[in-house]
């Protein structure tokens, strides 16, 4: 086994690799850009090696700098994690030339599988089922239109060197093809330096199910079962689970056999993932092979009991796989949610800033948190905005979902917007709980985008009780005031109730509209998380003071509560309210990013749905369209400008 490795990555995956290496007695160094010099990974590694400025192209993607860091610190091997250089054949070859072991597959396997067209050809030769489509890159939009006509709509344009959902566009009608082809090419060029695009038949209502494979340098190869990754947004996975609620034993075995056959066909060793799309009749088709550790590997680890990073290190050191296919057993169910710094109410745009408060759930046998940040860390514009991966585990799917939902309620993050509420809403959705999911699930269930959730009756009672108790306990400790009969006027959103409290130690009897609830809590003023037991069930409500209000967050609901003495509430209702300013005449940047295109001119008339501008953030193109007909009055920004969130791009008459 190696005595020292370099972790050529950042964030949660760097921390995750470092922890396993430490358990194995391996010293660790980690590469850091100037933006990450004080990161959690830099602090927990034995050594941090600076490799360049914040932009990834000048640091984490700089092969010479990373290889130099490996030789400088005396590392015998480099673990690339995922992303960055993890699937870069030139990087693997450069390490080999420097006498450093690449903790991953052979460079030739990376090169073949990294090119979707070559990968498809190898898959066909290996007897793996593939999707109908073109075998060569498309020369132009006209060639794309011809191929699409032959295949039949809907089709998907895909970057040949792509991954992570970049350079992919679904096209349902001929009129949309030229624009989609241009956008896919631009995004592919920006993300991979390779603008080759090909086309495939788009399988409607598919599931995305992938097989984890593992092979060593001695000819042994196994699969570790499947992960269902069908809950996606813009081709980016949001929720992953193991096993799949859809597969039967026969389909699982067939997919596993094909995945192992593909791994053998390219002389694979190390961890790899063969991704399939599966139609409603359980017909499956090869999508791509990821020649690295996947983001969602924790769900496989929880159900198999295996440490995939440890296996990668052992295989890279020349050891044989310690397991045969017959040894692979799964137990229980694991569901993972990716926690992102993004704003679900603004079409999930990245949210940049400092984590002013950070309180992850307590880890246990049922809850796993893979993070790479702590309080005070900064989410920057330079890297993917994922904060952590949160996994709930249980003996069955319902238990795992409930555990994950509870953990999401207790995950306290402030300073940036997050998708925690959105994740809680998803894992509580009746269709999700029934296993009725597909890759278009989010678009289908939220066609107009995600909006603030309205509390159901049970949630409303919980939040009314929590607001009254938080206020009453805080008021009592401050010796400000209380009410003679324990009654408070609680406004929750646009509805209000009189809530009466009776307290005995930490047990509260809460009366709401003639109904009586028993609530037990140890909450104290100043605590941001209100934990309680209500009629025998345990709940968590996050509490923030926002001016005179309490902002309460629970189960995907975030709502403001105003708690007053009944008489004060009566007087306040008579006060006039100031209307907010009208911003409807402006096109505002929905995120921080680079303005790459302004598609209209002053004086030009536009129609609803027409493209107005393109803002690039995190290497993703975001097309801004007109919400209604109008005439451009003034343009406030030009291509090349770095925009702040809500900065005006143009104004309409």
Give yes or no: 288 in active site. yes
Tens of pLDDT, residue by residue over 8-37, are 999 999 999 999 999 999 999 999 999 999
| Integer Cα distance of 154 and 201 in angstroms | 7
Residues 430 and 467 in one domain: no
What integer pLDDT is reported at residue 295 of this predicted model? Answer: 97
In a domain, 115, yes or no: no
- Picking from 151, 173, 201, the residue at the C-terminal end of a domain is 201
| 418 torsion bin: left (phi>0), alpha (psi -120 to 50), beta (else) | beta
43: how many CB neighbours lie within 10 A of its CB? Answer: 12
pLDDT score, position 482? 58
> If you compute the radius of gyration of the chain from its CA atoms, what whole number of angstroms results?
27
CATH of the domain at 381: 3.30.470.20
What is the tens place of the pLDDT at every residue in 154-209? 999 999 887 777 899 999 999 999 999 999 999 999 888 899 999 999 988 899 99
CB 237 within 8 A of CB 338: yes
* Mean per-residue pLDDT pooled into runs of 10, the chain (653 residues): 98 98 98 97 98 95 98 98 97 98 98 92 95 89 94 92 83 94 92 91 92 97 98 93 97 98 98 96 94 98 98 98 96 98 89 94 97 95 93 98 97 96 97 96 94 93 96 71 78 92 92 93 94 92 94 96 91 85 88 90 94 83 90 96 91 94
Tokens 């050594």 map to which residue?
A: 47
| 176 and 64 in a common domain | no
CATH of the domain at 163: 3.30.1490.20
Tell whether pTM > 0.75: yes
List the one residue out of 291, 270, 276 whose CA is nearest residue 227.
276
Q: Do 597 and 562 lie in a common domain? A: no
- Write down the catalytic residue from 288, 296, 301, 336: 288
Inside any domain, residue 108: no
CA 41 – CA 48 distance, rounded (Å): 8
- CA 183 to chain CA centroid, Å, is 23
If asked whether residues 178 and 228 sit together in one domain, one would say no
Q: Give residues with Cβ within 8 angstroms of 54, minimum separation 6.
A: 33, 34, 35, 380, 382
CATH of the domain at 591: 2.40.50.100
In angstroms, the CA 55 to CA 65 distance is: 13
Q: How far is CA 551 from CA 115, 311, 355, 438, 530, in A?
A: 49, 45, 18, 34, 12
Note whether 92 and 216 are same-domain residues. no
Q: Are residues 240 and 323 in the same domain?
A: yes
Backbone angles phi, psi at 348, to 5 degrees: 60, 35
CB crowding 538-554: b at 16 or more within 10 Å, else e:
ebbbbbeeeeeebebbb
How many domains does the chain contain in total? 5
The runs of H, that is alpha helices, within 36-139 are 40-44, 63-73, 89-97, 107-114, 116-125
In terms of phi and psi (left: phi > 0; alpha: psi -120 to 50; beta: otherwise), the region of 417 is beta
Residue 79, domain CATH: 3.40.50.20
Same domain, yes or no: 167 and 188: yes
Taking every pair of Cα atoms in the chain, the longest distance, rounded to a whole number of angstroms, is: 82
**Residue 109 covered by a domain:** no
Distance CA 57, CA 234 (A): 24
**Which residues lie across from 277 on neighbouring strands?**
208, 285
Segment 561-571, tens digit of pLDDT: 999 989 888 88
User: Is 91 among the domain residues?
Assistant: yes
Q: For residues 343 and 245, state if they share a domain.
A: yes
Kindly state whether residue 581 falls inside one of the protein's structural domains: no
Question: Cis peptide before 128, with omega less than 30 degrees from 0?
Answer: no
CB-CB contact of 117 with 198 (8 Å): yes
DSSP for 213-264 reads EEE-TTS-EEEEEEEEEEEEETTEEEEEEES-SS--HHHHHHHHHHHHHHHH
CATH number at residue 519: 3.30.700.30
My answer on whether 269 and 412 are in the same domain is yes
Domain final position from 549, 572, 595: 572
Q: What is the dihedral of CA 558, 564, 570, 571, to 10 degrees?
A: -110
Say how far apart CA 144 and CA 176 lie, in whole Å.
11
115 in Cβ contact with 90 (< 8 Å): no
**Three-class SS state of 404:** helix
**Same domain, residue pair 295 and 424:** yes
Quote the Cα angle for 218-223-226, to 5°: 160
Do 539 and 610 have their domain in common? no
For 43-56, the pLDDT digits (tens) are: 999 999 999 999 99
Q: For the chain, how far is it from start to end, CA to CA, in angstroms?
A: 69
**pLDDT given for residue 486 in this prediction:** 87
Contact 207, 267 (CB under 8 A): no
Report if residue 299 sits inside a domain.
yes
Q: What is the 3-state secondary structure (H, E, C) of 293-336?
A: CCCCHHHHHHHHCCCHHHHHHHHHCCCCCCCCHHHCCCCCEEEE
In a domain, 118, yes or no: no
CA angle in degrees (0–180, nearest 5) for 201-205-207? 95
- pLDDT score at 476: 67
Does residue 113 fall inside a structural domain?
no
Q: Count CA within 13 A, CB hemisphere, residue 188.
A: 23
Query: What pLDDT, on a 0 to 100 scale, did the predictor assign at position 163?
Result: 72
Calpha distance 176→156 (Å, rounded): 12
Write down which residue in 385, 412, 445 finishes a domain: 445
Note down the domain range covering 175: 132-201
| Pair (239, 383) in one structural domain | yes
Cα separation, 335 vs 430, in Å, equals: 16
DSSP string, 133-187: B-SS---SHHHHHHHHHHH-SSEEEEEEEEETTEEEEEE-SGGGHHHHHHHHHHH
Q: What is the mean pLDDT of the chain?
A: 94
């Amino acid at each position: 086994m190696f005595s020292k490795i370099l972790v050529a990555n950042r964030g949660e995956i760097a921390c995750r690799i470092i922890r396993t290496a430490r358990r194995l007695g391996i010293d660790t160094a980690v590469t850091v850009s100037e933006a990450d010099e004080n990161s959690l990974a830099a602090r927990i590694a034995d050594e941090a090696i600076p490799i360049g400025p914040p932009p990834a192209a000048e640091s984490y993607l700089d092969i010479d700098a990373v290889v130099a860091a490996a030789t400088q610190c005396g590392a015998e091997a480099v673990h690339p994690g995922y992303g960055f250089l993890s699937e870069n054949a030139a990087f693997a070859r450069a390490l080999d030339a420097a006498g450093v072991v690449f903790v991953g597959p052979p460079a030739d396997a990376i090169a073949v599988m990294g090119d979707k067209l070559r990968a498809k050809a190898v898959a066909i030769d290996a007897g793996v089922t593939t999707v109908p489509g073109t075998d060569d890159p498309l020369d132009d939009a006209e060639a794309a239109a011809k191929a699409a006509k032959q295949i039949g709509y809907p089709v998907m344009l895909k970057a040949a060197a792509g991954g992570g959902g970049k350079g992919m566009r679904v096209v349902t009608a001929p009129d949309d093809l030229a624009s989609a082809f241009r956008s896919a090419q631009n995004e592919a060029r920006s993300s991979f330096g390779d603008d080759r695009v090909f086309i495939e038949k788009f399988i409607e209502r598919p599931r995305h199910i992938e097989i984890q494979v593992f092979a060593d340098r001695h000819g042994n190869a196994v699969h570790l079962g499947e992960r269902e990754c069908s809950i996606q947004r813009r081709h980016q996975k949001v929720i992953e689970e193991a096993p799949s609620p859809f597969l039967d034993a026969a389909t699982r075995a067939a997919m596993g056999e094909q995945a192992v056959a593909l791994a053998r066909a390219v002389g694979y060793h190390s961890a790899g993932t063969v991704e399939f799309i599966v139609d409603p009749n359980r017909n499956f088709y090869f999508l791509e092979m990821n020649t690295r550790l996947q983001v969602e590997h924790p769900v496989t680890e929880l159900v198999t009991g295996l440490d995939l990073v440890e296996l990668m290190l052992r295989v890279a050191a020349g050891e044989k796989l310690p397991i045969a296919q017959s040894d692979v057993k799964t137990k229980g169910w694991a569901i993972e949610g990716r926690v992102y710094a993004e704003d679900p109410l603004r079409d999930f745009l990245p949210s940049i800033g400092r984590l002013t408060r950070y309180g992850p759930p307590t880890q246990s046998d049922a809850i796993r948190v893979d993070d790479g940040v702590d309080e005070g860390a900064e989410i920057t514009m330079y890297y993917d905005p994922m904060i952590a991966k949160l996994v709930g585990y249980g003996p069955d799917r319902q238990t795992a979902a409930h555990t994950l939902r509870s953990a999401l309620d207790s995950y306290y993050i402030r300073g940036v917007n997050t998708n925690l509420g959105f994740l809680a809403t998803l894992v509580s959705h009746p269709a999700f709980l029934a296993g009725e999911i597909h890759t278009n699930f989010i678009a289908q269930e939220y066609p107009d985008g995600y909006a603030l959730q309205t509390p159901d009756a049970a949630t409303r009672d919980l939040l009314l009780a929590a607001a009254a108790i938080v206020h009453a306990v805080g008021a009592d400790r401050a010796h400000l005031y209380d009410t003679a009969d324990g009654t408070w006027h609680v406004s929750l959103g646009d509805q209000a109730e009189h809530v009466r409290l009776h307290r005995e130690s930490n047990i509260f009897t809460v009366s709401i509209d003639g109904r009586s609830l028993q609530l037990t809590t140890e909450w104290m003023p100043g605590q941001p998380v209100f934990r309680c037991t209500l009629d025998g069930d345990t709940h968590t409500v996050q509490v923030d003071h926002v001016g005179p209000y309490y902002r309460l967050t629970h189960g995907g609901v975030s709502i403001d509560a105003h708690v007053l003495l009944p008489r004060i509430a009566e007087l306040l209702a008579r006060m006039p309210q100031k209307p907010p300013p009208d911003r409807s005449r402006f096109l505002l940047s929905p995120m921080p990013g680079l303005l790459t295109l302004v598609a209209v001119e002053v004086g030009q008339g536009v129609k609803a749905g027409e493209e107005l501008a393109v803002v690039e953030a995190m290497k993703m193109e975001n097309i801004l369209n007109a919400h209604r007909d109008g005439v451009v009055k003034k343009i406030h920004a030009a291509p090349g400008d770095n925009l702040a969130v809500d900065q005006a791009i143009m104004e309409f008459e």
